[in-house]
Amino acid sequence: MNAPTAHAAAGSFPIERRTFTPHPPQSYRLDDWFHLPTTATVEIRRNGTYVRTARIEDATPDSRILWLAPEGVDSRILIDKLDGYEVWIDAEQLYYIQQHR
């Protein structure tokens, strides 16, 4: 019998010999939008559904409204928490922000 392999797109290298096990990146929801640096790249969700990945441009002091910077074909937009928008950030970016406050 042949050794078990992953999906054909992953190649035919036996699973037990692979050293890299992909894990989905862990992300965290942030409610304090005001203290996000403008260099942060975040994931925007609305009512739990992915909307886009964007760079922060500015936020109101009450963390209710956030400006997303224009990038590629995506224009500059304003999002409001009351409309169901959420900001999610991956663990690496969150760590960087905490270290540079």
CB within 8 A of 16, min separation 6: which ones? Answer: 3, 4
pLDDT digits (tens, 9 = 90+) for 56-71: 999 999 999 999 999 8
Q: Structure tokens of 41?
A: 């790249």
pTM: 0.69
Q: How far apart are CA 100 and CA 91, in angstroms?
A: 14
Q: How far apart are CA 87 and CA 64, in angstroms?
A: 11
Q: Which residues of 76-86 are buried (b: 16+ CB within 10 A; e: fewer)?
A: eeebebeeebb
Q: Band the pLDDT of 17: cuts 50, 70, 90.
A: low
pLDDT digits (tens, 9 = 90+) for 41-59: 999 999 989 999 999 999 9
Q: What is the pLDDT at residue 6?
A: 46
